[in-house]
Amino acid sequence: MTVDESLPGPPGEDRPATGLGRILGRRQKAAQPERMRMVSVGGRTLRVSVREGNQDWPPLLLCNGIGVSLELLQPFVDALDPRRPVIRFDMPGIGGSPAPVVPYHLTTLPSLLAGLLDQLGYKQADVLGVSWGGGLAQQFALSRPERVRRLVLVATAPGSLMVPASPRILLRMLTPRRHRDPGYAARIAGELYGGSARKDPMAARDLLHGMTRLGPPRGYYYQLLAQLGWTSLPWLPKLRPPTLILAGDDDPIIPLVNGRIMHRLIRRSRLHVYRGGHIELAADAAHLAPVVEAFLNADDPATERSQQ
């Protein structure tokens, strides 16, 4: 395990109040020191960021969406309690993690997450998954329930057995063009991500291009292949960890009904419907981070099934 770089600190006062500047300007707490590490797990090398936090708190392991590096969730991490340890990583072929020789599948990845926790010295973690990463988080919780204390699923669905997005949206998701072409990202942001991106597509563009590290195109296609045929739907009633589901009321990629279905099937779950779209965890972290904090800090978040 080696250290290669530090994450950037808080923005300077001269940052313009547009796009990315507006997102970063909503930080409620000073950025905490973090270190990048290259970690070898099961023959794969992952670029990992660790914020140490309070050693008595379980870490929060973040699983990102398709095609984006760990930097995308920096606004969310900065909005969390600074005492909370946070682990982020780039999937193989994404950001700074080298691409694997052959594709992988979601069903094979729990051993990768378990190995990462082992390397970092953690027996158990809270796990948060966004979009594609929500599928990974579900699979990890189903396959390694003893490693997951609490589960947070954001803007995600149960895989192939879901209420799908419109064909136009699905076509846009088939290529990584939005990650490689800032102009294209701005043009389609409102239609693709909904929520705040409809009013401020430049902020969505900046999240994709100003806060993420670009990997090789095949990394994106490997992630697409990884979810082919995968679904968690029949096994959701077997999920053991208390689960918080965050779903946007204007998410073109993951229609809200998917969150409602998952809430009905996951016995120990809470559903929080927020105003916004697919990328609000980063674009509106100041409002969503406290919801996650309250769930992680609750004495028993599963004493009653609730919908907010």
Residues marked active site are found at: 131
Is 237 in contact with 138 (CB distance < 8 Å)? no
Residues 6+ apart with CB under 8 A from 92: 44, 46, 98, 99, 100, 104, 219, 222
Longest dimension (CA), the chain: 52
148 vs 89: CA distance, rounded Å: 17
Is 255 in contact with 280 (CB distance < 8 Å)? no
Ramachandran region of residue 67, left (φ > 0), alpha (ψ -120 to 50) or beta? left
Where does 4-68 have alpha helices with state H? 20-25
Ramachandran region of residue 239, left (φ > 0), alpha (ψ -120 to 50) or beta? beta
Long-range contacts of 136-140 (CB under 8 A, 24+ apart): 136/63, 136/106, 136/109, 137/63, 138/232, 138/236, 138/239, 139/106, 139/107, 139/109, 139/110, 139/230, 139/232, 140/63, 140/109, 140/110, 140/113, 140/114
